[in-house]
Chain A
Amino acid sequence: MKSRREFLTSALGASAVLLSAACGGNTQPAAAPTAAPAKPTTAPAAAPTTATAAQPTAAGAAAAKPTAAAAAQPTAAPAAAAKPTAPSNLSGATVTLLQWNHFIPTADPFFKQQAEDWGKQTGVNITVETINANDLTPRFTAAIQGQSGPTIFQMQYLAPHAFAEGLYDLSDMAKEIEPKYGKYYAQVNTSATVDGKYRGIPYNIVGNAFVYRKDYFTQAGVSVPTTWDELRAIVPKLAAIGKPVGQTFAQTFGDAPTFFYPLLWAHGGKEVEQDGKTVAINSPETITAVKFAKAMWDEGLDKRAASWDDSGNNTAFLADEISATLNGASIYFVGAGLDGKTAPKPWAENMDHFLPPKGPSGQFAWFLDFNHCIPTYVKGKDLDASKEYLRYVYDPKQYDAWFELQKGYSIGPGDRLEQSPLWATWPKPLLPFKTAGKIARALGYAGQPTAQTNEVFAKYVIVNMFARAAVQGMAPEDSVKQAEAEMKQIYGA
């Protein structure tokens, strides 16, 4: 009997400990873990800048000069960043940022180093977690549902629309930051604002352009296409020399939708009517676009691309297996050895870019854009610290160093960085990205984007509409009809 009682006592004691541990997850530590004194806001803004501005030097001597140039750029930003808006003592607070695995290999370590520097300055426990971009949304959903998780979400595309209810209105900060970057580009601005409120702070745009091999174009006797029809015409010719054009038709977040949405719009197709609610995908224009994609597929696109994720075309291009593909500047970045670590490919000089071409209805593009959002479950000191960290990230001294590291792969949320003298120092093939932000259109055309627009995107309804017809051989009309059925269900029509 005694052993039973002992067992029960131990079991109850252990349960109590477990329960208290489980229930205490959201409590702040009773005492700050460090004894760091209160710091003025200016200190964290200024001090790490020196460290981070010096970092790109490691990438090569050539990179060091522009850093200085960027840091010396006269902007009103430092003064703005120095505003005493932050609480006097953030020490002991916790900031966790969840974002994608960057496609520029050196970008994540650089960004994390900046964060670490800021953490040391402020005494804030900061963690930057990077995961595969395809897995970001489920993590956001789990965090919002569980009311626990990262204190800052770096969201892509229209995610702020889907999560709006669970995100703080950051309009004040977005407006405070906008003057540092020039007027926000339309696409990233639309992504961040829901019903006129900024649920995210526009951060950057990763432009997509066709990276191609000039030598293979010459060999095949083709020139850079300016229209979709011309692009279609070069596909069989490049396939004939064994270096096809590669375009993914798979369920992946970047290279598939950034190809198919602009292709749809260029042929006059639209997802919904102007009211943003009435599904309008089943139109002759959409069917024409789907038939066009199917023809390109049949006439010589690389068949392996049927299941490429976003890194698939990078791998194939860098392995010298394809002649052109739609991508961010990451292929060029690695191929030309711009990180200072990877040796340039022997054919690096033959790479160049061209933007998505024109169609019967015009030239359109849609790019990967990013916003920083703070979920409403973040409170108190953690909230203050998260906001302060974002001020630090958006301080041009930090931002410009990060921008410089990527050499045009990522552009700013507004047009200020179009004027950066760095563009003149970077390889000419990167120039198409300089003004890419100006030609991007938001999803959900011909209406304004909504949470439903994001759901259509997240479920790959448009991408699969093209894939079913091209890769699986379904009649284009039937594939469009299926997409219409899916969209009507999503829009509740």
Chain B
Amino acid sequence: MTVRATATATGSSAAAVERGGVLQTVERFLDREGVLGYLLMTPALLLLIIFIAYPFVLGVWYSMSDVQIFGLGKFIGLKNYTDLLNSPVFLQTVKNSFVYTGFATVFKLGLGLGMALVLNQHFPLKNLIRSSVLLPYIVPTALSTLAFLLAFNPTLSPLPWIFGPLHIPYPAAGFLGDPALAMGAVIFVNVWRGTPFFAISLLAGLQTIPQDLYEAAAIDGANAPNRFRHITVPLLTPVLTIVMLFSIIQTFADFQIVQVLTRGGPADSTHLFATLAYQTGMQGGRLGQGAAVSLYMLPFLGLLVIAQLWYTRRNASR
């Protein structure tokens, strides 16, 4: 018994030593920063490959293929892209996207800045009101847009009851039946939803500006507009630039608001790149051309991203 027990003990201690050796090797291996760094990066890299790189590469392939709904299709070069240039609906969509993004961004910037300046003052229930301002931004877009869909509903809309007593003529076809008004309506909803993002981001920027600068300027006789122009604007510009770039990227690639409110109508007059891509690829069954519509956004968005990165790095290096 004793001999056997000793032998067992010896065997297990040898195994333990062997295991310890393996563990030590692994430990040494993992202690190398180069190895550990890559290992820690792997999950993020996998996520990027699976959810960003793979769909992107597949999208590029689709855009250069004749794929319809099934399979991968045949390579047809740039035909999808050149065909789109002959499509009146696509050309209208390009115009719509710039109009939508331009107007929405200008309004969001103006209103957001104004709101940030107001929220930066001291008043009762300041924190509650600041939090409430974010509500339109945090409510799921599709959900809030459904509420607007009801508000703009040609039959059930409550708006005529508001417009009537105010003697404002209500459009006969409602807000979603006329091309210009429908574009105005989707821009309005985008502004309603996106202004809080500007307001809160700019408020954060405003709060980083030292108060003593304003006090010193006031002592030197600068009035409010001058303080705004010579202190607020220059010091807020970095935040403003980044927020605007983010907003332009998001607005340009917007989908939900238009899809829920107008589905690109009336008569394709409110289509954006994303909704036309959806209609072409997912509803029309021409995935290749749908992908090409989407990828037409790439040069513009790419330029914006480059501008954003350049600006961020320039500021970081200062």
Contacts and interface: CB of A to CB of B under 8 A. Distances in A.
Given A250-B265, A472-B179, A321 B283 contact: no
A307 B282 contact: no
B70 A137 contact: no
B267 A468 contact: yes
Given A306-B154, A307-B154, A138 B283 contact: yes
B280 A5 contact: no
B262 A464 contact: no
Interface in B274-317: 278-287
B3 interface: no
B68 A451 contact: yes
A166 interface: yes
Interface string B162-183: 0000000000111011110010
Interface in A436-493: 451, 454-455, 458-460, 464, 467-468, 471-472, 482, 485-486, 489-490
B30 interface: yes
A303 B172 contact: yes
Interface in B172-197: 172-174, 176-179, 182
Contacts of A451: 68, 285
Given A165-B70, A468-B267, A307 B176 contact: yes
B88 A141 contact: no
A471 B174 contact: no
Contacts of B177: 250, 303-307, 471
Contact of B83 (A165, A303, A482, A489): A489
B263 A486 contact: no
A144 interface: yes
B269 interface: yes
Contacts of A458: 279, 283-285
B154 A472 contact: no
B88 A485 contact: yes
Nearest to B285: A162
B284 A459 contact: yes
Contacts of B89: 459, 486
Interface stretch (A86-94, A308-316, A332-340, A390-398): A308-316
Interface string A135-167: 001100110110000000000000000110110
Contacts of B264: 251
B69 interface: yes
Contacts of B174: 304, 306-307
Nearest to A256: B265
Interface centre among A166, A319, A489 (most CB of B within 10 A): A489
A316 B87 CA distance: 35
B61 to A, nearest CB: 13
A141 B178 contact: no
Contact of A1 (B31, B39, B176, B182): B31
Contacts of A145: 69-70, 287
Contacts of B71: 165
Contact of B87 (A307, A467, A489): A489
B27 A467 contact: no
Nearest to A161: B285
Contacts of B282: 137-138, 141-142
Interface string A322-336: 000000000000000
A417 B233 CA distance: 75
B36 interface: yes
B285 A137 contact: yes
B155 interface: yes
A316 B154 CA distance: 9
A468 B266 CA distance: 8
A223 B133 CA distance: 57
A428 interface: no
Given A303-B177, A454-B285, A472-B269, A308 B154 contact: yes
A307 B182 contact: yes
Nearest to B39: A8
B65 to A, nearest CB: 13
Contact of B266 (A144, A315, A467): A467
Contacts, number: 138
Interface string B255-272: 000000011111111000
A329 B285 CA distance: 30
Interface in A169-216: none
A472 B27 contact: no
B87 A485 contact: yes
B86 interface: yes
A249 interface: yes
Nearest to A134: B263
A455 B284 contact: yes
Contacts of B173: 303-304, 306-307, 471
Contacts of B87: 485-486, 489
A249 B266 contact: yes
Contact of B155 (A250, A319, A485, A490): A319
Contacts of A144: 69-70
A455 B267 contact: no
Between A138, A141, A163, A468, the greatest number of chain B beta carbons within 10 A of the residue's beta carbon is seen for A141
B154 A312 contact: yes
Contacts of B31: 1
Interface string B139-157: 0000000000000001110
A166 B70 contact: yes
Given A141-B69, A306-B178, A459-B284, A321 B30 contact: no
Contact of A464 (B86, B267, B280, B285): B267
A59 interface: no
Nearest to B263: A251
Contacts of A166: 69-70
A455 B89 CA distance: 14
A4 B36 contact: yes
Contacts of B263: 134, 251
Contacts of B234: none
A249 B265 CA distance: 10
B43 interface: yes
A4 B269 CA distance: 56
Contacts of B280: 459
Contacts of A307: 154, 173-174, 176-177, 182, 262, 265-266
Interface in B58-91: 68-71, 83, 86-89
Contacts of B40: 8
Interface of B: 26-27, 30-31, 36, 39-40, 43, 46, 68-71, 83, 86-89, 154-156, 172-174, 176-179, 182, 262-269, 278-287
26 contacts: A1-B30, A5-B30, A8-B30, A15-B46, A137-B282, A141-B287, A144-B69, A162-B69, A165-B68, A249-B267, A250-B266, A251-B263, A251-B265, A304-B173, A304-B174, A305-B177, A306-B174, A308-B155, A312-B155, A455-B284, A455-B286, A458-B284, A460-B267, A464-B268, A472-B179, A489-B87
Given A165-B69, A490-B284, 18 more contacts: A1-B31, A15-B46, A138-B283, A141-B69, A141-B287, A163-B285, A165-B68, A166-B70, A251-B268, A303-B177, A304-B174, A306-B173, A307-B176, A307-B266, A454-B285, A467-B267, A471-B266, A489-B86
- Complex A-B, nearest 8 residue pairs according to Cβ-Cβ distance, in ascending order: A306-B177, A304-B154, A138-B282, A307-B176, A303-B172, A165-B70, A306-B173, A307-B177
